[in-house]
Amino acid sequence: MDDIVQAHDLTFRKMITAEQIAERVQEMGTQLARDFAGQHPLFLVVLKGAYIFAADLLRACPIDQELAFVRLSSYQGTRSSGTVRMDLEMTATVTDRQVIIVEDIVDTGRTLEAFRQKLLADDPADLKIATLLHKPEAQAFDLIPDYVGFTIPNEFVIGYGLDYDEAGRHLPAIYQRTDT
């Protein structure tokens, strides 16, 4: 795969290779399997961006588990709209459950914090966050993910499920915007 890719009107350069992602996701899955051994956690996958990460992470976590999806969004183009929308309600019950939110990226934390508060109101036994990417420089909410694949600078990225107006999700690596 190329080191430079185009998505709509923007250019991106490779930041994290597919091999680095595969290795780190395997490590995260192993850690989750250790931490939740003997339990039956609920993995709540935030669509659309986390679907590839979640598929690989759950395969790397060989324990009994349940899977549910929720669709949250706050981005338009390359910026957060400031408003969190829930486009797909989850069907799983979280009360008294071990819950792991699987997210593609935590930057400002606005989307995840809104969802986290909603879940906490339903009284889970435990609530953890697993994210592929974390941008601590961009964070506007006091939210610390429990499992982090990679800490990255505050740059717009695509690939491995993340997109720019639906472009770039299919890329096997993570690409950083070059023209900022």
End-to-end CA distance of the chain: 23
Catalytic status, residue 123? no
Q: Which amino acid is at 157?
A: V
Which CA distances in Å does 48 have to 12, 33, 73, 131, 163?
A: 20, 24, 9, 14, 9
Of the candidates 107, 122, 126, 163, the residue annotated as catalytic is 107
Q: Give alpha helix (H) positions in the chain.
A: 18-35, 51-59, 110-120
Q: Which residues are catalytic?
A: 107
